[in-house]
Amino acid sequence: MDIGEFITVFKDGGVRAWLAWDALEAAGCVVRERFSRSPDVLGGLFTVWYRSADGTDGDWRNPGDRPLRVAECADAIDVLPADRRRRILRFTEAFRGEDAPVRLVLPAYAVGGDEAVLLDGTHRAVAASLAGVEVRVMLFVLDGPVDPQMLPDLGHHR
């Protein structure tokens, strides 16, 4: 998948992360495709959700707050805002009722090595992790500058 295809597939598909779509090509971003069946790979992905030092729900605008990984969200489900928690639990219940592996197609942004921040699909990713079901994860990872101008959350990953 090239950057143009990434934009076509994901831009109008409801990605809610504050990504600088117009800057992706100019920044030289490329797309890497990664497939995994590992719950550890899924659980290790960063989210755009945060925890503050006092253990409450955080925010990317607070420098002291830290981004949560998918597995951490699953472990801290009771701390998440009620609407987020309800959505995750609905997906979790649905995933546990499936006979086949849960298939997730997820856009992400690379932050170094194999680490990446999910741009969309976080509720589903956390639910799959929480459900403990077999997964098939197809990641489309933007590889570009780790610059908060591209995605504000990247300020927490420098």
Distance, C-alpha 116 to centroid of its chain: 8
Q: What is the DSSP letter of 44?
A: H
Name beta bridge partners: 141: 32, 108
Q: What is the pLDDT of residue 58?
A: 87
Residue 158 confidence (pLDDT)? 79
In the structure encoding, which two tokens stand for residue 77, read together?
């489900």
Burial bucket for residue 106 (CB in 10 Å: 0-12, 13-18, 19+): buried
pLDDT surpassing 90 at residue 138 = yes
pLDDT tens, position by position, 56-112: 888 898 889 999 999 999 888 888 999 999 999 999 999 999 999 999 999 999 998
46 three-class SS: strand
- 12 falls in which pLDDT band (50, 70, 90)? confident
Domain-by-domain residue ranges, the chain?
A: 3-156
Q: What is the pTM of this model?
A: 0.93
